[in-house]
Structure 1
Amino acid sequence: MNPTLRQMRAFVALARTGNFTLAADYLHVTQSALSGLIKELEQTLGVRVVDRSTRRIALTGTGNELYPLFSQMIDDLDGALANIADQAQLRKGIVRVAVPQLMACTLLPQVIAAWRERHPDIRISLSDSPVEGVTARVLSGETDFGIGPERDAAPQLQARLLMEMPFEAVVPPSHPLAGRTRAAWADLAAWPLISLRGQFTERLLADMDAAPPGLALKPAHEVTYMTTALALVAAGLGITVGMPYAAPLVRLHGLTAVPLAGPVLTRRFFVYTREQRSLTPAAEAFIAFLFDFVADRAAATAPLPR
């Protein structure tokens, strides 16, 4: 016994309306097509499900037994299909993203606010993490994707370049470097450097080792979060280096960012996803929106040609 979905829909419509004409109109089929579907259902089941009369129909004992089951099945299916359609049309859904803690309180709120203006019914679940925890959350399936600095290649992890930014020195407004339009890395050696623990500092020091002699820096303090580093700088305990996307928080602390050169060192940031795992339409759309947002922001802040 394998009744088809069309047969079940025809039976439920007939049971709800109690009339072949009304049920046919509801399903947008002819009355003869509806009658044929009911006959096919009865042939499939081997029993009658409705008793026909000239004016109305009545469910048989089997029909009364089947009606609530078929009705619930169809309602559940229609609800699931409507939910999928809403997700495909970006009328509903949730996007889970992991980002470093600093990015979670600077760049991402701006992106999410701009996204919400277009898609108010798509919720963004933001996980602020230590830098080293971003890819772990992606690989575990806790988030749909993550945004973070370049890391060593990992199995089952796909990386798409989002942006590349140069390092800046962050100093108090009264600092001797604050009035400069540009500073050299060697200029930082005279003040205590507050840096981050982990690969951030390791990669920076490796870059410095590869640079011309005299540029080596030794951190005086190492902290886990850049927000802590900025607070220490604001308290006059040293200086730090960071990325331009942190500008809102730098300003909030009343600090000054100075571009660094000699050499210009950069960091690349990637969108990380799990390989061979399909994203939801909402997640795909948000990633595309993120790339456009970052590109537009970069174009707006790029220096004019001379």
Structure 2
Amino acid sequence: MNPSLRQMRAFVAVAKTGHFTLAAEYLHITQSALSGLIKELEQTLGTRLVDRSTRKIALTDIGRELYPLFSQMIDDLDGALANVADHTRLKKGIVRIAAPQLMSCTVLPEAIAAYRARHPDIQVRLADTAVESVIARTLSGEADFGIGPERDPAPTLHARQLFEMPFALVFPKGHELERQERVTWHDLSRYPFISLQGQFTERLLDDMHASLREVPAKPAHEVTFMTTALAMVSAGLGVTVCLPYAEPLATLYGLVMRPLEAPQLTRRFFVYTRPGRSLSPAAESFIDFLFEHVENMVAEVSVRQSPAR
């Protein structure tokens, strides 16, 4: 016995309406097509389900027994299909993101707000964390995807480049560096350097030593979060370097951000996802939106950081 879904829907419609004509209208099929489906179902089950007469129909004992079962099965299936449709139409869903603390308080709040304006029924959950924890959260499944700088060695994740930006020097307003037309990495060596801990700064120092003769042998201060470094710069404890996407936050601290030259060192950021694991429609949609949002953000930052500004 293997009744089809169309046969069961036809039977439930007849049982609900008590009339072949009304049931056919409900299902948007002809009455003869409906009768054919009921006959096929009865042949499949090997028993009569509906007693027909010229005036009315009546369910047989077996028909009355099957009606609530078939009806519940169809309701459950329709509910599940509606749930899937809500996800695919972005009427429902959750997006879980792991991102460094600095990006989480600059780029991502605006991106999330703009995305929610388009898709208000999608929940976006942001886990702000240390740079070194982004990969772990993504690998463990705590996050649908992570956003972070390039890693060495490369993690066992699928990486798609989100943006590449040059480093900028950050110092307090009124600092003597503000009088210079341009600032270079050699200028950095004259002041206490406040850096982040971990691989992000290790890679930067390696790049500096490979490109320059005179660099800080060791940072004067090492902290976990860039917001701490910016606060220390604001307090006059030194200077720091970061990527220009953080310029709005630096401005809140009363700091100046200037492009670093000679040479121009850059850092790439990626969207990391687990290989072999499909993302939900909501997560895929948010990633697509994020690339669009960041492309516009990078263009705006480039204009602000241009020497001609």
State the TM-score, normalizing by the size of structure 1: 0.93
Counterpart position of 2:212 = 212
Counterpart position of 2:101 = 101
Q: 1:217 offset after TM fit, Å?
A: 4.3
Q: Establish whether residue 231 from structure 1 lines up as the match of residue 222 from structure 2.
A: no
CA distance in 2, matches of 1:201, 1:283: 30
Residues 79-90 of structure 1: pairs in structure 2 closer than 5 A = 79-90=79-90
Q: Secondary structure at the match of 1:85?
A: helix
Counterpart position of 1:265 = 265
Residues 1-306 of structure 1: pairs in structure 2 closer than 5 A = 1-154=1-154, 156-303=156-303
Contact 1:177 1:258 in 2 (8 A): no
Q: State the aligned residue count.
A: 306
| 1:301–1:226 Cα change, 3 Å | closer
Q: 1:305 offset after TM fit, Å?
A: 11
CA distance in 2, matches of 1:245, 1:155: 24
Q: 1:181 offset after TM fit, Å?
A: 4.4
| 1:90–1:179 Cα change, 3 Å | farther
CA distance in 2, matches of 1:55, 1:266: 83
Q: 1:154 offset after TM fit, Å?
A: 4.3
Contact 2:171 2:256 in 1 (8 A): yes
- Per-residue CA deviation, residues 76-134 of structure 1 (Å, 9 max, x unaligned), is 21122222222222232222211111101100011112212222222211111111111
Segment of structure 1 superposing worse, 160-169 or 77-86: 77-86
Q: 1:299 offset after TM fit, Å?
A: 2.7
Q: Which amino acid aligns with 1:159?
A: A
Q: 1:61 offset after TM fit, Å?
A: 2.3
| 1:305–1:27 Cα change, 3 Å | farther
CA distance in 2, matches of 1:152, 1:48: 70
Q: 1:153 offset after TM fit, Å?
A: 4.7
State the TM-score, normalizing by the size of structure 2: 0.92
Percent identity, aligned pairs only? Answer: 67
Q: 1:56 offset after TM fit, Å?
A: 2.3
Q: 1:24 offset after TM fit, Å?
A: 0.6
Q: Which amino acid aligns with 2:63?
A: G
CA distance in 2, matches of 1:274, 1:91: 25
Contact 2:245 2:298 in 1 (8 A): no
CA distance in 2, matches of 1:156, 1:198: 19
CA distance in 2, matches of 1:288, 1:181: 38
Gaps of 5+ in 1: none
Segment of structure 1 superposing worse, 263-272 or 208-217: 208-217
Q: Which amino acid aligns with 1:237?
A: L
